[in-house]
Amino acid sequence: MPASALYSKLHTDADYKLLQLDSSLLKALENEGKLAFKATKESDSVVLCSKSNTWTLKQKNHSNTVLIMREFVPEEVPQTENWSTLGVNEPSTFSLGFTKQSYELEPRPTAGEISYSTLPIYSGEAHKAPNASGLSNAACLSLEDLRNCSPCSDEEFAEKWPALGGCVVNGAACILSREFISRALHITLMSCMAESLDFDDLDEPQAFAAVNKDMGEAGEFNPFSKEVISTVLGKFCSWSPGGRFKLQKETISQWYGIEALKKFASRSSIPQEEFMIKWKSLFPPYFSCDLDFKALRGYYYRPLGSCIQYFSKETLPDDPKERFSYLFKLQSTWDLDEIAPFIDQLNTKGVKIESFVMKFARRRRQGKRVTVSAR
């Protein structure tokens, strides 16, 4: 076994934590040059972020001796003429020191998240805007501060922020209310159509100018700021590197469909055929958009056969058995495709949905149709 030049024992227990460098971390370091540790106030967990990816850090306990090594560079091999090798071959590696570590940190890829739970909700009213006169601004954060304290890479943040309805109002990061987003979307669509703008190649300044063309006298409060329109475009459009936007009609159709369920099918059920007509009625006049009822799965149940009724999965229990029991109280038999969105998040091991369902319910196949019922 080759000998090594071992210089000293290192006392690193209180000062150093060892991090495993897997291939994804090494690639990030090579391509981007730096990584950043982030932690949130809501949690003690720490994540590691590159420009585009996020890793959680899992502590792996052990009692191994750790050698702190120096990279072997032939031109920098130390002179060993004065070494007393006692018959042992000349060292082939040179260690800077050694120590014992009780654990290492193992990086595991994860989806970055934005810490938005404490952000104010903005509904488009001047007197309720963040940092408005008379309101406390103690909880207000700038967008940069929010980015820095969120366990999320910069690229993930840029993608998730508009999807959340995130916006900057009076310099403070906030979340636009669903009602205000609906108003802003509706006005944006109508204004762009009035100006004959191309929905497949939208320019943000042109869209903002179209929305604000008839917004009243200068100096009057206008809730549809440039930042608000930017959020609407980011949420309902795909973005190209050239700064242009392409309207995603499937996303818009789903948004209006959920709004239609809340408006027409919250207190009582409604026949699906009648609902489709009411769904279409919510779109701006002359706005052409296909209606795909499958996009609304996870937002309704069928209490009476073909009739549907709005339901929010946010009210469901977290325990799998309790959740299945609750769902079967709403509806005794479900199509697998319609119950799947209500239980997907429980399937943490990623097994096939049919196999997962069989742990808690009875599955039955009828031709191409798969139904699920209580045991």
* Element spanning 247, H or E: strand 244-247
* Half-sphere exposure of residue 211: CA atoms within 13 angstroms, side-chain side: 25
- 140/233 same-domain check: yes
Number of domains in the chain: 3
In a domain, 257, yes or no: no
Q: Which has more confidence, 311 or 126?
A: 311
* Residue pLDDT, tens place only, 287-310: 999 999 999 999 999 998 789 999
260 within some domain? no
**Distance between CA atoms of residues 243 and 231, nearest Å:** 14
Residue range 15-26: mean pLDDT, rounded: 81
Mean pLDDT of 160-173: 94
Give the separation between CA 297 and CA 299, rounded to whole angstroms.
6
Residue at which a domain ends, from 88, 110, 132: 110
> Are 154 and 54 a contacting pair, CB within 8 Å?
no
Q: What order of strands is seen across the sheet that includes strand 172-176?
A: 121-122, 172-176, 166-169
pLDDT value for 175:
95
Domain that holds residue 45: 4-110
- pLDDT computed for residue 20 by the predictor: 85
Which of 31-45, 186-200, 325-339 bottoms out in mean pLDDT, i.e. has the lowest? 31-45
- Around Cβ 211, how many Cβ atoms within 10 Å? 25
Q: What is the largest CA-CA distance in the chain?
A: 94
Same domain, yes or no, for 335 and 369? yes
Is the same domain home to 173 and 226?
yes
Instruction: Please list the residues that pair with 360 across neighbouring strands.
Output: none
Within this chain, do residues 139 and 239 fall inside the same structural domain, yes or no? yes
Report the DSSP beta bridge partners of residue 245: 202, 239
Q: What is the pLDDT of residue 341?
A: 95
- Answer whether residue 153 is part of any domain: yes
Domain annotation covers residue 115? no
- From 55, 77, 110, the end of a domain falls on 110
* pLDDT per residue as tens digits for the range 348-358: 888 899 899 99
Residue-wise pLDDT tens digits, 98-120: 666 777 888 999 999 998 988 99
Tell me whether residue 254 is in a domain: no
Q: What is the pLDDT of residue 142?
A: 92
Tell me the mean pLDDT in the region 80-100. Answer: 54
Residues 34, 106 within the same domain: yes
Amino acid of residue 149:
C
